[in-house]
Amino acid sequence: MIRNNSELAQLGEFGLIKKIREQVKKFQSGAVVGIGDDAAGVKVKPGKIALFTTDTLVENVHFKWDYASGYQVGWKALAVNLSDIAAMGGVPTYCLVTLGMSKEVDLSLIDSIYQGLRALASLYNIGIIGGDIVSSPIFFITVALLGEENKEEVLLRSEAKEGDFIYLTGDLGTSAAGLFCLKEKELNVPIPLREKLQRRHLLPSPRVNEGRKIAKSKVASSMIDVSDGLTLDLSHILEESRVGAKIWEEKIPILKEVKKLAKEFNRSFLDWGLYGGEDYELLFTCSSKISLEDIKNSLGFSVTKIGKIVKGSPEIVLISSAGKQRKLKPKGWDHFSI
Amino acid sequence: MIRNNSELAQLGEFGLIKKIREQVKKFQSGAVVGIGDDAAGVKVKPGKIALFTTDTLVENVHFKWDYASGYQVGWKALAVNLSDIAAMGGVPTYCLVTLGMSKEVDLSLIDSIYQGLRALASLYNIGIIGGDIVSSPIFFITVALLGEENKEEVLLRSEAKEGDFIYLTGDLGTSAAGLFCLKEKELNVPIPLREKLQRRHLLPSPRVNEGRKIAKSKVASSMIDVSDGLTLDLSHILEESRVGAKIWEEKIPILKEVKKLAKEFNRSFLDWGLYGGEDYELLFTCSSKISLEDIKNSLGFSVTKIGKIVKGSPEIVLISSAGKQRKLKPKGWDHFSI
C-alpha cells in the first residue's frame, strides 16, 4: 500500500463517498433508497420498505476511554444508528453488533458496553440478534441496524423545494459544549451544568419518536439528522435537492446556559451550533403553505423555524439579526478533511 | 479501562459469544433465528425470512497488505458474508460496506477494494447500497449483508440428529496451504500450484449456489460453513444440536497436491484439513435414510460423506484408517484464545 499524505485529505470523507457512489451506481438497482441518504431502503413487500444502515465508533477517533464509559460507548453506538433510521422517519427493528478489540480488554468493559446497548435497545424494542467479534489493536464498535416504514412515508434528503421553510427539533451546540467540558476537566463549570452537557454528548437521545411523527404527519418534504453539524448536514439536503438555503442566525436554537458557558470561556456558541455536530436533532423542510403553528399541532411537540430553502446552488447564507449576509462553508465532522 | 491480560484469552471468542448471547436473551423475541447461527433471521412477510449477517476483516489480523491486494480484501470481505448466507441456504441480496482507514491511505487502494467488492457482488447480483467511512489508525472493512429465504428452507446449526451422516462440499485445507505459501515466499513451490493455492486463500468462492440447492432439495438437517476450521465449525453444530460426531480420517477431502506440498515441507495436511479454516465449504448433515447417490443426484454436484452424528456430548472422535479412535479438541480460528 503506497501511502500518500494528501490525496484522501484533499478529497475528504464526503468527496470519497461521492466517488464511491459513482463507482457502485449500477449496484443500486432494486434499492428504493441507495447510497446518499441516512439509511438505504429496499422493498420487502407491497407498500413496505426495509431500512438498512450502519455506523461505527472508533476509540480515540469518536471517543476516548479517559472520559467515556463502556455503557456510554455501547449506548451511543446504537444511538447514532437509531438517529439515521429516525432521519428517514422509520421504525428501527433489529441490529447486529460488531466489536473489534484486543485480547487484553477487560471483560467488565464488554459487559458495560452491552448494558448500554441493552438500555437503549429496550427503549425502542430493538432486537440485538447477532454480530461479530474480532481481534483488533484498537477498539471499535459497528452497529448495523434494520428498520421499516410504509413506502409513502419515507423522507429523503432530496425532496426539499424552493420556498420551503427549514425546521429543527430541539437545540444545537449542546453536544459540542458537552465535549468541551469533557476535554476541559479543570475548568470551573457548575457540576449540574457540566453533567447535563456531558450527558448530551455521551448519551444522546435519538429522535426516533419525533422522526416517526414527522413522517406520519406528512408535513415534511425532506429530512436529515444533525450528526456532523448543521452546515454540513444541511448541505447534504441542498446538494441532493439542488437548492440553496438561508439561515437566520438568531433563530438557531442554542440553550441559554450553552451561550453563557461559551461567553465565559471565550468560545463561540454560534460555531458550536453551526459546526458542532452530534446533537442528533432532526432537520427537516416543510412547504411554506403550512404554518409553524399547524406543524406543531400536527406533531405534538415544539420545533424551531430556522431558515428557508432558496433557488440556486447548494450554498448556505447566514443572515445576522442586523440583516448582514455571509456565506457559510459547510464544515463539521469530516473524517479525512484537512 | 483496566486491562487484564488473561480474562478474555481464557474465555476465547466463542466463550465470549456464549456470554453475550446469555446477556441479550430477552432481545431475541421476534427473531426467527437469533444469536448463535451463521446469520440472524427475521420474519418479513408470511413464509419469508430476511437473513442478516455481518463480518469484518482487520489488517494484520485477518490479512497483511504485504501479500493481499485491495481487490482481494474487498472480494474476501464480501465473500465471508456471502458464505454465512450460503450456510443458511439463503439468497444474498443487499450489503452495506464500512471502511475504517487512516487519512494517509492511497485512493487507488480504495478503488481496488471496491473493484473486488463489485466483481463478487456482480456474480450474485448483490446491491451495494450504503455504508460508512471512518478514520481509524488501522484498516478494517465490515460488510453487513441481507439475504432472504423461504421459511421452510432455512437450515440451522441446531437440527442435526443422531444417526445423520455428515457431508462436505469441495475440499479442506487448501486455503491453509495457500496461506502457508503466502507466508513462505522463499519456498520452492511450482508457480501454478502456488498461485492456485494462494488464490483459494485470497479469493474464496462462497458456496452460495450450492447452499441454495442444499436448502431447496431439503435433504439436509443442519448446515454451517467451514470458516474457522472443520473441528471448530462442526463443534458448533454439535453444541447447538446436543449431539456428538465421528469423522473418518481418510474421508476428509484434501487435494493430492496439498498432501504432497505438506509432506515436502514437513507440515501436517491433516492439521490443515481439520483446523485450517477459511475454505468456506459447506458442512451439512443428512438423514442416513438418504443415500450419497440420492443426495448427489438431487443436488447436481459432488459432496463427500466424512462422518456420522452420534448420541452424546458434543465431542468429535476421529477414526483412522486402521480403526484407531482419538478425540479431537475443537480448535482453529479463535480471535482471543490462548
Q: DSSP string of B138-183?
A: S-EEEEEEEEEEEGGG---SS---TT-EEEEES-SSHHHHHHHHHH
Q: Given this model, what pLDDT does residue B224 score?
A: 97
Say whether A61 and B111 touch across the interface (CB within 8 A): no
Grid cell for residue A96: 447486529
Helices marked H in chain A: 7-23, 70-86, 107-124, 174-183, 191-202, 208-217, 230-241, 256-264, 269-275, 292-299
Rounded-to-integer distance, Cα B256 and Cα B171, Å: 10
For the stretch A135-149, pLDDT in tens is 999 999 999 999 999
Check whether A276 has a pLDDT greater than 60.
yes
Rounded-to-integer distance, Cα A97 and Cα A93, Å: 14
Check whether A4 has a pLDDT greater than 60.
no
Please give the DSSP secondary-structure letter assigned to residue B62. Answer: T
What domains are defined for chain B? Answer: 29-153 (3.30.1330.10), 165-328 (3.90.650.10)
Share above pLDDT 70 across residues of chain B, in percent, rounded to a whole number = 96
Check whether A91 has a pLDDT greater than 60.
yes
Q: Given this model, what pLDDT does residue B52 score?
A: 96
Q: Given this model, what pLDDT does residue A3 score?
A: 45
Please give the DSSP secondary-structure letter assigned to residue B37. Answer: B
Q: Given this model, what pLDDT does residue A6 score?
A: 65
Highest mean pLDDT: which range of A11-15, A44-48, B34-38, B289-293: B289-293
Query: E-strand spans in chain B?
Result: 31-33, 40-45, 48-58, 91-101, 127-135, 140-150, 165-169, 220-225, 244-248, 282-286, 303-310, 316-319, 325-328
A83 touches chain B (CB under 8 A): no
A66 touches chain B (CB under 8 A): no
Check whether B5 has a pLDDT greater than 70.
no
Rounded-to-integer distance, Cα A237 and Cα A257, Å: 30
Check whether B275 has a pLDDT greater than 60.
yes
Share above pLDDT 70 across residues of chain A, in percent, rounded to a whole number = 96
Write down how long chain B is.
Answer: 338
For the stretch A49-79, pLDDT in tens is 999 999 999 999 999 999 999 999 999 999 9
The one-letter amino acid code at B152 reads E
Q: Given this model, what pLDDT does residue B8 score?
A: 86
Grid cell for residue B179: 496461506
For the stretch B261-273, pLDDT in tens is 999 999 999 999 9
CA distance A28 to chain B (A): 6
CA-CA-CA-CA torsion for A333, A20, B86, B93, nearest 10 degrees? 90
Distance of alpha carbon B193 from the chain centroid: 23
Write down how long chain A is.
Answer: 338
For the stretch B303-315, pLDDT in tens is 999 999 999 999 9
Grid cell for residue A138: 484498537
B58 touches chain A (CB under 8 A): yes
Phi/psi of residue A52, nearest 5 degrees: -150, 120
Question: Among A97-111, B6-20, B101-115, which is the least confidently predicted range?
Answer: B6-20
For the stretch B100-137, pLDDT in tens is 999 889 999 999 999 999 999 999 999 999 999 999 99
Q: pLDDT band for position B338 (50/70/90)?
A: low
Q: Chain A residues with CB inside 8 Å of B28's CB?
A: 127-129
Q: pLDDT band for position A338 (50/70/90)?
A: low
For the stretch B67-88, pLDDT in tens is 999 999 999 999 999 999 999 9
Measured CA to CA in angstroms, residue A293 lies from A87, A253, A298 at distances of: 22, 17, 9
Measured CA to CA in angstroms, residue A213 lies from A169, A203, B100 at distances of: 12, 22, 34
B121 touches chain A (CB under 8 A): yes
Distance of alpha carbon B217 from the chain centroid: 21
ipTM computed for the complex: 0.94
Check whether B66 has a pLDDT greater than 60.
yes
For the stretch A205-252, pLDDT in tens is 999 999 999 999 999 999 999 999 999 999 999 999 999 999 999 999
Q: Given this model, what pLDDT does residue A7 score?
A: 83
Say whether A52 and B126 touch across the interface (CB within 8 A): no
Q: Given this model, what pLDDT does residue B3 score?
A: 45
Size of interface A-B (CB pairs under 8 A): 257
